[in-house]
Amino acid sequence: MARTSIPRDAIPQPLEELCERLRQRGHRAWIVGGCVRDLLLDREVTDWDVASDARPEQVMAAFRRVIPTGIAHGTVTVLHRGVPYEVTTLRGEGAYTDGRRPDSVSFVNDIEEDLARRDFTVNAIAFEPETAALIDPFGGMDDLSAGLLRTVGDPAARFGEDGLRVLRAARFVATLELGLVPETEAAIAGALDTFRKVSRERVRDEWVKAMAAREPSRAFEVMRRTGILTVTCPELLDQVGCAQNRFQAYDVWEHTMRTLDATRPDSVLRMAALLHDIGKPRTRQLSDKTDDWTFYHHERLGADMADRWLRQYRFANADRELVVHLIRHHLVCYAPEWTDAAVRRFLSRVGATAVEPLLELARADAVAKGHPVDEELAGLFELRDRVESLVAAGAALGTGDLAVDGHDVMERLGIGPGRAIGELLGKLLERVLDEPELNDRERLLALIDEMGQEYRADT
């Protein structure tokens, strides 16, 4: 249940001081937007925004440290007590011909006129610290209490102004756990042409924000229903109605959504959960032996598909590489019969730093299957324990962990740099994975002599 008032002590003292200084100079100031909404929902506020009837030059004159971050649109950033606060002059807006920003901005003196330009009613509430008054001309507080998300005024007009708003609607359904009112949801399909003008970086940022929700699937269900996914990632829609094997209770889409929600709230890990089965529809075949669906190598194809999509949407290289790596290795087929050598090979293949997120993804993948998976989960927990023991014991997992290096190989065999060095180190690692006690310098040098004859001959 949403609050109906905001206590004065909920406002940071520096922010109160900022508003007071503007009042002392004859201006009014309100706290506006998402921070007011989050205060009413008893959520933590990370960004504070102020609206004022003061013009940008008047705000700049009132404070010593001001950055003209968006002065053309009436926004400056005031650094007060080391904290940045955005202060925007009350404004009205012209047409949005590019589907992103207003063609023109006009300054106004009425807070309600300023709130009328905002996207959703729950974001169109203002709080005046001096009087503790809430200004809510569009019923945003009632919508918060009812758990509803609706646009300010005509939804078609709001979505037509800024194409990103349709994706923000999907994100808020998840992060605020609100339900779209039918009129607002129905207007999204007609705004998809405007949405196509939105940069991929802005789309990426909204997807990442949605991943912080308790149930990110709420956002992606809106995207599926309204056509947003046809613009951003139609490959995911191929999962809808794609039946799995007889042991799976859901189609691939439903399984993906359940995996997404079951994964801990980490944006990279949840992106891997969202895309982990993206290759299944393209690899589905009916097996002659089992008379059931198979998805051979879907993890390989899915990793390649995810890599292309993540590049298109300009994810950071490190995040993209980890997501792709997790998808490529997400089929963890552990059995208690695995020898320690098998666990070491698994570790070597996956990489010690990726094991923990991979096992978390495997856990969520198992939970989302829709049938009892107690034995599978027990196996994953056992594998985690065995991995931790081997890592703690200092097991050699890569060529860099060997007691010799490429220089030793070149010196021992009298050869120069080349592919043979890496090949021979790889063979040494294979032996050490089977027999960890071989990771001794003298024993490895002897193995170099023994295994290196063919490389000497080649030279």
pLDDT band per the 50, 70, 90 thresholds, residue 96: low
Query: What integer is the mean pLDDT of 144-165?
Result: 96
CA-angle at 381, arms to 378 and 385, nearest 5°: 135
pLDDT at 243 over 90: no
pLDDT band per the 50, 70, 90 thresholds, residue 418: confident
Alpha-carbon distance of 337 to 385, in angstroms, equals 15
- Confidence at residue 247, expressed as pLDDT on a 0 to 100 scale: 74
CB contact at 8 A, 52 and 22:
yes
- Confidence at residue 330, expressed as pLDDT on a 0 to 100 scale: 96
pLDDT band per the 50, 70, 90 thresholds, residue 347: very high
Query: Taking the domains of the chain in order of start, what are their residue ranges?
Result: 8-139, 147-232, 234-395, 399-458
pLDDT band per the 50, 70, 90 thresholds, residue 295: confident
Alpha-carbon distance of 427 to 447, in angstroms, equals 10
CB contact at 8 A, 52 and 91:
no
Q: What percent of the chain has pLDDT over 90?
A: 78
pLDDT band per the 50, 70, 90 thresholds, residue 97: low
Query: In this predicted model, which residue has the larger pLDDT, 256 or 92?
Result: 256
pLDDT at 110 over 70: yes
Alpha-carbon distance of 435 to 272, in angstroms, equals 34
pLDDT band per the 50, 70, 90 thresholds, residue 371: confident
Least-confidence region, from 15-29, 85-99, 341-355, 400-414: 85-99
* CATH 1.10.3210 describes domain 234-395: yes
CB contact at 8 A, 173 and 145:
no
pLDDT band per the 50, 70, 90 thresholds, residue 98: low
Alpha-carbon distance of 357 to 266, in angstroms, equals 10
Q: 35: closest CA among 165, 108, 124, 118?
A: 124
Structure tokens at 287: 């097996």
Q: What is the CATH number of domain 147-232?
A: 1.10.110.30
Query: What integer is the mean pLDDT of 362-384?
Result: 93
DSSP-derived letter for residue 44 is P
- Confidence at residue 248, expressed as pLDDT on a 0 to 100 scale: 76
Q: Which fold has domain 8-139?
A: Beta Polymerase; domain 2 (3.30.460)
Query: What integer is the mean pLDDT of 326-342?
Result: 95
pTM assigned to the model: 0.90
Q: What's the mean per-residue pLDDT of the chain? A: 92
CB contact at 8 A, 202 and 314:
no
pLDDT at 104 over 70: no
pLDDT at 60 over 70: yes
- Confidence at residue 99, expressed as pLDDT on a 0 to 100 scale: 54
